[in-house]
A and B are shown apart, each in its own frame.
Chain A
Amino acid sequence: MKDKIRIASGQGFWGDLIDAPYHQVTKGEIDYLVMDYLAEVTMSILQKQKNRNPNLGYARDLPDLMKKILPISTQKGIKVITNGGGVNPVACADAILETALQMDIKKLDIAVVLGDNIIDCLEDIISKGCELNNMETGESIVTYKNKMSSANVYFGAMPIVEALEKGADIVITGRTTDTGLTLAPMIYEFGWDRSNYDLMAAGTIAGHILECGAQSTGGNFLGDWESIENFAEIGFPIAEAYPNGEVIITKHENTGGKVSFDTIAEQLVYEIGDPKDYITPDCVADFASIKLEDLGNDRVKVFNVKGQPETEFYKVSCSYQDGYSAAGNLTYSWPQALTKAKKADRILRKRLKNLALEFDEIRTEFIGYNATHETLAEQIDEDKINEIVLRVSVKSKDRETVNRFGQEIAPLILTGPPSVTGFAGGRPKPKDVIAYWPALIPKNLVKPIVKILELK
């Protein structure tokens, strides 16, 4: 058994710094590279891509990224774990194998984790008595099932552990919890007992700290953010895990950013609910039990983590298209920038009303004044405001109604208050509104499938 392993986070979301994973494998020693690509809305986009082309539906950055990483990872024995397989992990693995074939790589075993995608089994699941009731509204999915554009179960660490046991160099999953990506190599390397829930929670919390990339190493840090050095070359987090469940969060030397008590504490409280009840497929972690010790030199020890047994359910995330939206911006300059923007908003609303257009919602925000803090925004002295961006957005079930809004906002340039600009991008176009349906499913109704694909 290894006395420690180093697990590096390579992406905080799909769209994060493209070279971050490459820097993680080149700027210092690591054993695992983990990458989270999937947000709730991503699955629906990927499902649409797959519907159009059965070879798509995964994070298309991955094959190019692996082309850069494979020469190093295969030589050093670094394993890669990612949920970038989206709704098509097999196509993703095939694309990476194809890339590897064109390189001088002799051996590569890629495991795919399947079984999370239940979009084609909703009828079957309902017939077994699980109506996938919406966790927020309590409504049954039955009347909505034909509208659903994606439906995925969140698997945890165990399918990835199985993949590693089968000898995988790379593990490509579909919908897997972000935390499971990091917990899995600890279970595998240290032979952790699956029912030791303190250890499961320790690995889960390390995963929570890693899952948003540089948000734990000084990025988006609201503390003394000006003390963060070298944002331009910010180092992504690394979890140095020990068999007893202690984890030291750090980053490679000679990278930017900072790992401190404060930067880790901020990430710990990010997007959590009841801290004693952080539910994953692997355990229920207690965030209130966590202790942190700042060891200096960008090293913070995370310890004393407590956990409870997992629940009998997996979380399911379904999505469906629910109308259309559009947003348009216009920029008004001094003098009276805010007064002009407010007047323009009233003119636009009158025109939309005259056209008898019905929207589910019309929203007006003044960027530079109240778009972020709304009613908490301080009153401003207009003479001191150089410019204001008027942002108007609408939502409707009817696509044409939203389209007409786009046609009405642009003309304000010539038919409303003066010193206005910023409409070079053309009319705002209707975009699909993707609504999200969270539910629970008994664990015995779905089964993760792990397959190894070899280099031919």
Chain B
Amino acid sequence: MKIKLRDIAHGRSGDKGDAANIGIIAYDEKGYKLIEDKLTADKVKEHFTGICKGEVERYELPNIKALNFILHNTLGGGGTVSLKHDAQGKTLAAALLRIELEVE
């Protein structure tokens, strides 16, 4: 069975130089266990193929049921020099919510 990340989590994204940060927060503990298990850095990197051109790092904040992803080399050079319409990666959290996670 597939679960849409959008149904179990929300989040916010922004810029850190040419890297984007995407924080994803599960709505409940069950959701956090699921994203902790399934929403890996590799999975996020694969999702952003063609957009994220560097490594993806993942950090956990279990107290607030959140994961933080750093997507390196993603914003076309960074906020002030990027030609991107979304030069600061503000809409990338929503883009990650498109992902579907396989659950048993």
Contacts and interface: CB of A to CB of B under 8 A. Distances in A.
Nearest to B14: A271
Interface in A219-246: 220-224
A269 B80 contact: no
B70 A322 contact: no
Contact of B50 (A215, A221, A287, A374): A374
Nearest to A370: B85
Contacts, number: 135
A446 interface: no
B62 A434 contact: no
Nearest to A225: B10
Interface string B50-72: 11000001011111111010100
Contacts of B51: 374-376
A162 interface: no
B15 interface: yes
Nearest to B10: A223
A101 interface: no
Nearest to A304: B63
A41 B80 contact: yes
Contacts of B98: 373, 376
Interface stretch (A4-12, A55-63, A182-190, A388-396): A388-396
Contacts of B61: 268-269, 275, 287-288, 290
Given A270-B12, A373-B95, A434 B81 contact: yes
A270 B95 contact: no
A288 B64 CA distance: 8
Contacts of A267: 12
Contacts of A434: 80-81
A357 interface: no
Interface stretch (A109-117, A191-199, A361-369): A361-369
Given A271-B15, A436-B78, A438-B17, A265 B83 contact: no
Interface string B23-39: 11101000000000000
Contact of B25 (A266, A373, A433): A266
Interface string A257-280: 000011001111111111110000
A334 B24 CA distance: 37
Interface string B66-95: 101010000010111101111000110111
A265 B25 contact: yes
A272 B23 CA distance: 8
A136 B17 contact: yes
B68 A136 contact: no
A372 B85 contact: yes
Contacts of B15: 271
B85 A367 contact: yes
B25 A269 contact: yes
A16 interface: no
B16 interface: yes
Contact of B23 (A270, A325, A363, A372): A270
Interface of A: 40-41, 136, 215, 220-224, 261-262, 265-276, 287-292, 304, 319, 322, 325, 327, 361, 363, 365, 367, 371-376, 391, 393-395, 433-436, 438
The 10 closest A-B pairs by CB, nearest first: A269-B23, A223-B10, A375-B50, A271-B14, A372-B91, A393-B83, A363-B83, A371-B85, A266-B12, A373-B95
